[in-house]
Amino acid sequence: MSKLFLDPRRPMTHGGFRDEHLPGYLPELPFSPQEMINHNHSLPRVSAIYTSFTGLESTCLVLVYGLDVFYTRLFPSKMFDVLKDDFDHYLIIGVLLTLILSALITKKLSQRKALKQAWK
């Protein structure tokens, strides 16, 4: 559920504040079908729900078991930190190597200049 609907500063009118993009007060909170974890499948007699973090920032794992077992990955932030399949890894490696090499060269030149100034 969106945090905007749980914000205590929501106005009592249905127009909402345009500055803060807060929706107006509603007696029943709306539920978006995109926010359902199990794609509208019922899980009868749920015994426990376990969640766990992953190495990615916007991903968590959910395990629900009882009469049936359900497991899924959740992306609350819509996978903003996952690289696309066509991402150019070689370009990033080339840029990083160029930056490291240029940093080493400038360090060497800076040391040489400092040594020349010390002898003057």
The 10s digit of each residue's pLDDT in 23-60 is 777 777 777 665 667 666 777 888 999 989 887 777 88
Share of the chain above pLDDT 70, in %: 78
When pLDDT is averaged across residues 72-95 and rounded to a whole number, the result is: 82
pTM: 0.43
The residue ranges of every structural domain in the chain are: 1-35, 37-82, 83-120
72 and 38 in contact (C-beta within 8 Å)?
yes
Residues sharing a CB contact under 8 Å with residue 113, sequence separation 6 or more, in sequence order:
none
